[in-house]
Amino acid sequence: MNVDFECYPCFFHQAINVAGMIGVDEKIMRDILCEVSRLIPTISPEITPPLIGRQVYQIVSRLTGVEDPFKDAKKQCTEQALALYPSLKDKVASSSDRLLMAVRVAIAGNVIDFGSNVAFDLGKDVQSILTQEFAICHYGEYRKGLAKAQRILYLADNAGECVFDRVLIEEIGKPVTYVVREKPIINDAVREDALAAGIGEVANIISSGTDAPGNILPLCSEEFLKIYGDADFIISKGQGNYEGLSGEDRPLFFLLKAKCPVIAKNIGVERGSILLMQAQSG
Amino acid sequence: MNVDFECYPCFFHQAINVAGMIGVDEKIMRDILCEVSRLIPTISPEITPPLIGRQVYQIVSRLTGVEDPFKDAKKQCTEQALALYPSLKDKVASSSDRLLMAVRVAIAGNVIDFGSNVAFDLGKDVQSILTQEFAICHYGEYRKGLAKAQRILYLADNAGECVFDRVLIEEIGKPVTYVVREKPIINDAVREDALAAGIGEVANIISSGTDAPGNILPLCSEEFLKIYGDADFIISKGQGNYEGLSGEDRPLFFLLKAKCPVIAKNIGVERGSILLMQAQSG
């Protein structure tokens, strides 16, 4: 998905949010926003938003000296999610269609997001998503594809959300390769976050090799690209991965809550919608 | 009121909104946003937001050749407001405190705003403001000040809103000087808009000499500054005038709906609040 003009103000919002979370003084905040303003003329219309998002967070890290500003927030999210885990498992166990409920659970975890301008209340939002109508639901294709799949790739999104992913992986009941970011970026999951969520017990964890908040293939490692190319079923979680992969001709299913208005518009759904969507060319 | 870091993304939103209303192509939109990005490093912390807003609209005008993009929208707002005028007069006539209801009416007109990122539905929003609780209401001071006042200045905000101002001016029943912008900026009222609203029949219309979306004194004419300095009661409508005059040591009353989160925070009220507020140093 290409960058939209509406993303431009959002890059400033993201910088303000993360610098605010770090607690910078006025001078550093001004320096950060001036540097972000210098990115604007460099934005080519064909690039994907997480590529600029990555540069915004690099600016903040460089000017503050803080490499992982969401470290504590990520840990807290994982703890909150782990507290919900038993009830999520119960939901699945008591559902007439366990796989579909597990998909819902995985999407519900996608409310966790410090990169978008949407506040969340984990317990409450998860409950509401578990009963929310899907705006797009390619569940038939999903179930069929999964039944035949032998090399399943699961592209993670945020820390904490991994606990919800674990519920879906457990329901899939086949070997799964779980892909995290190489380095901390916003609250995206890295290996440590996946391990804290217990993913190590249900899947093989690898890194995509990128520190962008989305799997932008030109920034990924060769090792990841080989596994990605060989996969016959790919679950892509969240907005950042959708932005990076929406045009790909691969057997992809996007699971996400469309929190960002630009992404919602790109998909053609209302903001706040939940989706299980097969890639158009997939 | 000084610029806030949260205003930075808003300058981009404003440019996108007005350029979108004009219907520019992608290249011009990109050029506009690149020029807006070049403003960011020039923003000094002591300036007031409408000063940058003015530069943003100047960029859009220069790169599109459209000097008054809101001309039609302003006309429509005035027509809509004139259609409401008889019912607004009835509201005042049937009220136990006519002046207070006329103040409410004037504030209700402040929902008209194409500069803030808030959509409005004139008929509906006006009705809701007429019964909304004031977040700040210095009505006692207002009534007392007005009873003694001899040189009343009324600083207009937006086109269409002038019709609501007319209701208040008619209730004041004393000579009033009504101040509009010198040149079109966003949907702010100029002489033509005030005349279309019938202000010419109830007040003396003058220009502040500025084309900023707020009365920023260093940009106003000497003629206006003299009248401003001599006034013994000043009604200031809307956010832009508040931003320009909030620190002034003059007998000022601000009548507005706090649509912008930065202004609401500056005043110390919830976003969406309505206020009749005496200037702290006034």
Percent of chain A predicted with pLDDT > 70: 98
Give the pLDDT score at B203.
Answer: 98
Instruction: Tell me the chain B residues in contact with residue A17 when contact means C-beta distances shorter than 8 Å.
Output: none
Indicate the angle between helix axes B26-39 and A26-39, nearest 10 degrees: 150
Instruction: Tell me the chain A residues in contact with residue B10 when contact means C-beta distances shorter than 8 Å.
Output: 9
A-to-B residue pairs, Cβ atoms closer than 8 angstroms? 49
Q: In whole angstroms, give the CA distance from residue B276 to residue B253.
A: 7
What is this structure's pTM? 0.91
Flag whether pLDDT at A119 surpasses 80: no
Nearest alpha-carbon partner for A207 in A191, A219, A192, A196:
A191
CA angle A6, A9, A12 (to 5 degrees): 145
**Quick one: tokens of A207?**
């890194």
Q: In whole angstroms, give the CA distance from residue B12 to residue A113.
A: 23
Q: In whole angstroms, give the CA distance from residue A78 to residue B118.
A: 36
Q: How far is CA B157 from the centre of its chain?
A: 3
Q: In whole angstroms, give the CA distance from residue A240 to residue A220.
A: 14
Q: In whole angstroms, give the CA distance from residue A180 to residue A165.
A: 12
Residues A151-171 pLDDT 10s: 999 999 999 999 999 999 999
Of B33, B36, B45, Cβ closest to residue A26: B45
Phi and psi, residue A8, nearest 5°: -60, -55
Q: In whole angstroms, give the CA distance from residue B193 to residue B190.
A: 5
Distances (CA, A) of A116 to A209, A238, B244: 23, 11, 32
> At residue B231, what is the residue type?
A
Supply the Cα-derived Rg of chain B in whole angstroms: 18
A141 pairs with which residues across the strands?
none
Give the pLDDT score at B282.
Answer: 43
Contact A16 B10 (CB under 8 A): no
**Quick one: tokens of A41?**
């003329």
Give the pLDDT score at A115.
Answer: 67
Q: In whole angstroms, give the CA distance from residue B112 to residue B90.
A: 21
Q: In whole angstroms, give the CA distance from residue A111 to residue A84.
A: 14
Give the pLDDT score at A281.
Answer: 61
Of A16, A30, A41, Cβ closest to residue B37: A41
User: What residue ranges in chain A does DSSP mark as E strands?
Assistant: 134-137, 152-155, 176-180, 204-207, 233-237, 252-257, 274-278
How does the average pLDDT of chain A come out, rounded? 94
**Overall average pLDDT of the A86-94 stretch:** 96
DSSP label at residue A186: T
> At residue A41, what is the residue type?
P
DSSP label at residue B251: S
**Overall average pLDDT of the A231-247 stretch:** 96
**Quick one: tokens of A3?**
């960058």
Phi and psi, residue B176, nearest 5°: -130, 135
Instruction: Tell me the chain A residues in contact with residue B23 when contact means C-beta distances shorter than 8 Å.
Output: none
Tell me, what's the ipTM?
0.89
> At residue A16, what is the residue type?
I
Of B8, B26, B38, Cβ closest to residue A12: B8
Instruction: Tell me the chain B residues in contact with residue A41 when contact means C-beta distances shorter than 8 Å.
Output: 34, 37-38
Contact B34 A45 (CB under 8 A): no
> At residue B131, what is the residue type?
T
Instruction: Tell me the chain B residues in contact with residue A12 when contact means C-beta distances shorter than 8 Å.
Output: 8-9, 12
Q: How far is CA B185 from the centre of its chain?
A: 11
Q: Determine the distance in angstroms separating the CA of B38 from the nearest CA of chain A, rounded to an integer.
A: 7
Contact B37 A34 (CB under 8 A): no
**Quick one: tokens of A107?**
């999407």
Asked if residue B202 lies in contact with residue B232, where contact means CB atoms within 8 angstroms, the answer is no
Asked if residue B266 lies in contact with residue B258, where contact means CB atoms within 8 angstroms, the answer is no
Asked if residue A51 lies in contact with residue A212, where contact means CB atoms within 8 angstroms, the answer is yes
3-state secondary structure A91-112: HHHCCCCHHHHHHHHHHHHHHC
Instruction: Tell me the chain B residues in contact with residue A33 when contact means C-beta distances shorter than 8 Å.
Output: 5, 8, 40
Q: In whole angstroms, give the CA distance from residue A263 to residue A274.
A: 12
Chain B interface, Cβ < 8 Å to A: 5-6, 8-10, 12-13, 16, 26, 29-30, 33-34, 36-38, 40-41, 45
Which of A17-21, A43-47, A109-113 is least confident?
Answer: A109-113
H/E element holding B6? none
Confidence tier at A282 by pLDDT (50, 70, 90): very low
Q: In whole angstroms, give the CA distance from residue A238 to residue A214.
A: 9
Give the pLDDT score at B173.
Answer: 94
10-residue stretch averages of pLDDT, chain B, 282 residues long: 96 96 96 98 94 96 94 93 96 97 96 72 86 97 97 97 98 97 94 98 97 91 97 97 94 96 97 95 52
How is A55-75 classified by DSSP, letter by letter?
HHHHHHHHHH--S-TTHHHHH
Asked if residue A211 lies in contact with residue A182, where contact means CB atoms within 8 angstroms, the answer is yes
